[in-house]
Amino acid sequence: MNQSTPKFATFDLEIARAFPDDGNWDGVTSLGITCAAIGFSDAPEPTFFHAAPELTRGASVELVRALERVRADGYTLVTWNGTAFDFAVLAQESALPRECAELALAHVDLMVIVTFLRGHWLSLQKALLGAGLAGKQKQVVLQDGSILGEMDGKRAPELWARGEYDAVLSYLRQDVMPLLELARLVHTTKQIRWTSGKGYPQNVRVEKLWNVRECFALPLPDTTWMKMDPPQRAQFVRWMPPLDERLPNAPYAPRALHELPLFAYSAETAYWREFRYALQKKQP
């Protein structure tokens, strides 16, 4: 690997219980984690974490520690929508919200980059195909030898409950390994490409692989052309505690999001109060 290319690690997980149909899981006590994978750019296979029926609290804590070691070892951690989902679920299951918040803000979420630059969601499938890569796995082989088509993450909890562990792990592998190649291509080409629903080529310029915290310093995109309300930036981090409506007056409190130090949550609660407060305000 070229010395100028970062060492990448990708992360994804599958949940134990079906996701609510309305997409709102704020009131769900626990989604559970059946399996998770960390892919490495210098390893042919990912590292898996899995258990039946699901990871215990202790195993979820170990997953958090493993991700912390990945960062400590110099890897650039990358996800697709890990900020709003994977790290939020992991925070719930590990009971380590502060550690998960720190990991989430420090990592590169390619979907956050697209959403913050363009003002709309984008699927990993479209980004992979736009980069000329094979799309997400759509078929898995079941224990009886039959092939299940149109596989997606919504079917993973049911399959895991039926003991189809190999099928789900195979699907999970095809989430983290192609994402490694996508991260490398975005780093090299400095763009994310896809085709719109109407068949038009689209792209965003990615000057660098901004981590999530840095993305909050990006200017708001023009979304006046959109028929639907654009996603709000606060949605991605609303699970991060604490939430305090008071603006701290302490002299060390930062005045802008980009001034927030990465590990301020553990060191100074007021920094994180400022962070959450700034997200709730109408951004200029």
The secondary structure of 49-89 as a DSSP string is: EE-SS---HHHHHHHHHHHHHHHHTTEEEEESSIIIIIHHH
pLDDT at residue 258 in the model = 46
When mean pLDDT is compared across 30-39, 85-94, 151-160, 240-249, the lowest value belongs to 240-249
Specify if 247 maps to a domain: no
> What are the φ and ψ backbone dihedral angles of 255, each rounded to 5 degrees?
-100, -10
What's the residue count for the chain? 284
| CA–CA distance, 65 with 54 (Å, rounded to integer) | 18
Q: How confident is the model at residue 253 (pLDDT cuts 50, 70, 90)?
A: very low
- Among 21, 14, 276, 51, smallest CA distance to 157 is for 14
Higher pLDDT, 253 or 66: 66
Specify if 253 maps to a domain: no
Specify if 88 maps to a domain: yes
Can you give the residue range of the structural domain that contains 108?
7-220
Coil, strand or helix at 121: coil
Q: At 48, which CATH number?
A: 3.30.420.10
List pLDDT tens digits, range 47-98. Answer: 999 999 999 999 999 999 999 999 999 999 999 999 999 999 999 999 999 8
Higher pLDDT, 251 or 49: 49
Q: How confident is the model at residue 266 (pLDDT cuts 50, 70, 90)?
A: very low
End-to-end CA distance of the chain: 41
Most confident of 85-89, 145-149, 244-248, 262-266: 85-89
Specify if 256 maps to a domain: no
Specify if 26 maps to a domain: yes
Contact at 8 Å (CB) between 25 and 31? Answer: yes
pLDDT at residue 21 in the model = 66
| Half-sphere CA count of 104, side-chain side, radius 13 A | 27
pLDDT at residue 23 in the model = 59
Specify if 282 maps to a domain: no
| CA–CA distance, 59 with 33 (Å, rounded to integer) | 10
- Among 220, 146, 132, 168, smallest CA distance to 52 is for 168
Interval 92-112 mean pLDDT? 93
Number of domains within the chain: 1
When mean pLDDT is compared across 28-32, 108-112, 204-208, the lowest value belongs to 28-32
pTM of the model: 0.85
Q: What is the mean pLDDT of the chain?
A: 85
Specify if 266 maps to a domain: no
Specify if 101 maps to a domain: yes
Output the six-digit token pair for 195: 């085709």
pLDDT at residue 18 in the model = 83
When mean pLDDT is compared across 79-88, 190-199, 272-281, the lowest value belongs to 272-281
Q: How confident is the model at residue 216 (pLDDT cuts 50, 70, 90)?
A: confident
